[in-house]
Amino acid sequence: MFDKFKNEEGGEMVKERSGSASTEESNFTIESTSQIGIGELMSKRAKLEEAIDYVGLMIKNLKDKRTLLEKDIEEESVDIKNLKEKLQKVSEYIEEESRGIGELANKRQRVENEADEVGSIINTLRERLSGVDRIIDDEGSRVKKIKESRDSFNE
């Protein structure tokens, strides 16, 4: 393979001389590049550059995804904070209503106690009226007896 480039005297590699110079020069360049592996090295470098570009694109995509995820998480965080605030307001409303219900229960109890007092007063007054009624009936009976006895006197 290297025989074509060897010179018998010095052992240096030289190009064989034949037909046209430009064809041989391009063949020499291609063959010498292939023979010492530069073409393969350049191909590997190109593939590595492509791989690096691909990795860079993957990193950019990951950064974009992370940014979107951070944005989504922040939005969820805001939504959750809003829900928490609403729940706190609902809790405060429930506490306020519970206090209001307690106050109404106390007020109802006071009214019920007053109604019991009124009922007691009514019963007391009824008994007193019954007592007065008995007295009136008794006095009426006496007056009637007196009238009857006077009428019997007068006759």
Q: What is the pLDDT of residues 95-122, one digit of tens each?
A: 999 999 999 999 999 999 999 999 999 9
Q: How confident is the model at residue 34 (pLDDT cuts 50, 70, 90)?
A: low
Which two tokens mark 86?
């609403």
Q: Tell me the DSSP string of 81-111.
A: HHHHHHHHHHHHHHHHHHHHHHHHHHHHHHH
CA pair distance 113, 126, nearest whole angstrom? 20
6: β partners? 13
Specify whether the CB–CB gap between 5 and 14 falls below 8 A: yes
Cα–Cα distances in angstroms (integers) from residue 28 to residues 4, 5, 17, 22, 33, in the given order: 10, 10, 11, 9, 8
Confidence of residue 145 (pLDDT cuts 50, 70, 90): confident
Do both 25 and 67 map to the same domain?
no
Q: What is the 3 state secondary structure string of 13-60?
A: ECCCCCCCHHHHHHHHHHHHHHHHCHHHHHHHHHHHHHHHHHHHHHHH
Same-domain status, 59 and 28: no
Say if residue 13's pLDDT is above 90: no
Q: Is the same domain home to 70 and 91?
A: yes
Asked if 69 and 126 sit in the same domain, the reply is: yes
Q: Are residues 5 and 15 in contact, defined by beta-carbon separation less than 8 angstroms? A: yes
Report the domain count for the chain.
Answer: 2
Do 28 and 99 share a structural domain? no
Give the rounded percent of residues in the chain with a pLDDT score beyond 70.
76
Same domain, yes or no: 74 and 16: no
Q: Are residues 88 and 18 in the same domain?
A: no
Answer yes or no: are the C-beta atoms of 28 and 15 closer than 8 Å. yes
Q: Are residues 24 and 78 in the same domain?
A: no
Same domain flag for 98 and 147? yes
Residues 73 and 29 in one domain: no
Q: Are residues 64 and 112 in the same domain?
A: yes
Whether 8 and 77 share a structural domain: no
Residue 29 structural domain: 1-36
